[in-house]
Structure 1
Amino acid sequence: MGIFEKEWTLNFTQCYPNGQLKYSELNNILQITGSDHSESLGFGYKKMIAVDQSWVLSRMLIEIDALPKYTQTIKVRTWLQDFTGTRAIRNFELLLDDQVLITASSLWVVFNIKSRRADIFALSTDHMEFYRDRTATKKPVDKIDGNVEFNLMTEYKVKLSDLDIVYHANNVKYMEWCFDAMDPKTILDGSMKRLEMNFLKELNYGDEVSVQEFNDETYCIQKDGKTHFLMQIKK
């Protein structure tokens, strides 16, 4: 099962008041589809937690032609492009009626849940199929330049509802904190065509962070002056 597909019918909790799929829910849907693919291949959460490992998202690039809407049934297609032993590139296509609306590329790192550091993958990949020539996005997922003068938007304290199963703030929450600090009009007009994210350091329950922006395009989340997350938006 080298290429995996999953259908989603969008419900009201996943959509903005204008009926369009939330950007954070889009990210969530992509990642859950990738997780389901990993489970089917034998290196999902349960298999990896048994060897004290987990997948963590390092970078994500999403290119958007159009956002699907409430009640529409979409299909997400995903495949692994490459794997180095510590990192994997996973690509995505989101389709509506066989038309590709959204593409994405992501970089995942093998994470040791005891040392809280990157690790060498402990499970076998002999059965894996990689599509090294099959890209999804126009540009590769890359590093964002965070060396700019950011301005404070808001401050936030990590809550229990932000945590996921490996006891750190889920990466989708980082997006939500940034979007919640923006002018809603800039989100609801559906003009965002590219979202690029770098997940640099984990955050935990009770951490106090600041959400900052530069030029209404680059956003960051910092703790104690250190950057934990970067997001760049292109319209």
Structure 2
Amino acid sequence: MAMANRVGLVNLLGLVETENFRERKCNYVLRCEKREVRGVRNVNRVNGRESAVLEAEKAKFLSNGLDWPGSTSTMLASKLGRFVEKQLVYRQTFVIRSYEVGPDKTASMETLMNLLQMNEQETALNHVMSSGLAGDGFGATQEMSIRKLIWVVTRINIQVDRYSAWGDVVEIDTWVDASGKNGMRRDWIIRDYHTQQILTRATSTWVVMNRETRRLSKLPEQVREEIRPYYLKRFAFSTDDTEKINKLNDDTAKNIRSGLVPRWSDMDMNQHVNNVKYIGWIFESVPMKVLEDYTLAGMTLEYRRECLLSHVLDSLTTMEEEPSIPSELESTHLLRMQADKAEIIRARAYWRSKGLNT
């Protein structure tokens, strides 16, 4: 493969950055980071002094040995990331912010999904900027761009051993491999930055779709040849959750929440709802007692159909009635169109009692 084609193949691939591109990207992110910090300070300034919230956030950064955001060292560590293991693994560091935790001061499943998505899109941003494919979708290679193809996720499985708390620093590794004849697998490992303890494991399956017809496509051989050098045969899980997820309906669902409507801010650059948004909609039909007494320990999502801005959704949930282990629960979920009941997502979740987390 020519070097011109190798530079910048990202998202589900890897990246060899040029010095010029790295410098431009650093400058761009630094400007964004400084604007963000100035905005936070302005919002939280009371009588000429920064609010206690901002001061506490700053203290958390300093206590973890990090510079307060706005400095070049923190920007590079938490935003840009780097490639390791012969350019096959992308590693990035994040700090859990105060607005990313819930009432118990720990991150949520939505926070983790956001981190995985940001990690994946950072590699995609590298690709788009360095290969000149801006506007064609995150991670599209040159051959994909010619054929108007984009990557779409069909399945995600995430398992959480422990949720990070406010101020914790986490390190995320991600890599890709082939999945069957026409798919790609992306895996993630999230570790505590200081102890290197593994906190979360995740795996996902991706296929290609024509961005104009919105139909799935076979993976062209030319695309396969482009991305093959970036495969890493490594698994985040020893065994993946491949068990079939049963479809719920009005008779089998115990809880149904209707009238869920996407907002403009929920849309991604491919003009469909951001994958993370689905988690919140699923929770809309989960009994409050479960949310109060249990922690989400793992989740498998099967994406069946795109959700667009004009759609109105139903959220369906059924909880396991007689769990074999009282401290553990399993639930089945469905997001569907309210009008024609077409499936959007099937999901299965695993819950553990909050008493086991202490």
TMscore range, shorter length: 0.7 to 0.9
**Deviates most, 84-93 or 9-18:** 84-93
- The amino acid that maps onto 1:9 is V
Q: Does structure 1 residue 101 correspond to structure 2 residue 217?
A: no
Higher helix proportion, which one? 2
**1: CA distance, partners of 2:93 / 2:335:** 32
Question: Which of 247, 255, 275 does residue 171 from structure 1 map onto?
Answer: 275
Q: What is the deviation of 1:211?
A: 0.3
**Deviates most, 176-185 or 1-10:** 176-185
Q: Is the 8 A contact 1:178 1:219 kept in 2?
A: yes
What residue is the counterpart of 2:93 in the other structure?
Answer: 7
Which structure's CA Rg is the greater one?
Answer: 2
**2: CA distance, partners of 1:15 / 1:91:** 24
Gaps of 5+ in 2: 1-86, 321-330, 352-358
Please report the TM-score for the alignment, with normalisation by the length of structure 1: 0.88
Q: Does structure 1 residue 90 correspond to structure 2 residue 153?
A: no
DSSP-derived class of the 1:25 partner:
helix
Question: Which of 332, 338, 345 does residue 229 from structure 1 map onto?
Answer: 345
Please report the TM-score for the alignment, with normalisation by the length of structure 2: 0.60
Q: What is the deviation of 1:5?
A: 0.5
Question: Which of 313, 321, 332 does residue 218 from structure 1 map onto?
Answer: 332
In percent, how many aligned pairs have the same letter?
Answer: 18
Gaps of 5+ in 1: none
Q: What is the deviation of 1:107?
A: 0.6
Higher strand proportion, which one? 1
Q: Does structure 1 residue 191 correspond to structure 2 residue 295?
A: yes
Question: Which of 54, 59, 71 does residue 150 from structure 2 map onto?
Answer: 54
DSSP-derived class of the 2:284 partner:
helix
Distance 1:187 1:69, change over 3 A: farther
Question: Which of 115, 138, 148 does residue 45 from structure 1 map onto?
Answer: 138
Question: Which of 209, 230, 247 does residue 129 from structure 1 map onto?
Answer: 230
What residue is the counterpart of 2:256 in the other structure?
Answer: 153
Q: What is the deviation of 1:2?
A: 0.3
- The amino acid that maps onto 2:332 is T
Q: What is the deviation of 1:115?
A: 1.0
Aligned pairs, number:
234
Distance 1:186 1:215, change over 3 A: closer
What residue is the counterpart of 1:69 in the other structure?
Answer: 165
Q: Is the 8 A contact 2:186 2:205 kept in 1?
A: yes
Distance 1:83 1:219, change over 3 A: closer
DSSP-derived class of the 2:212 partner:
coil
- The amino acid that maps onto 1:104 is A
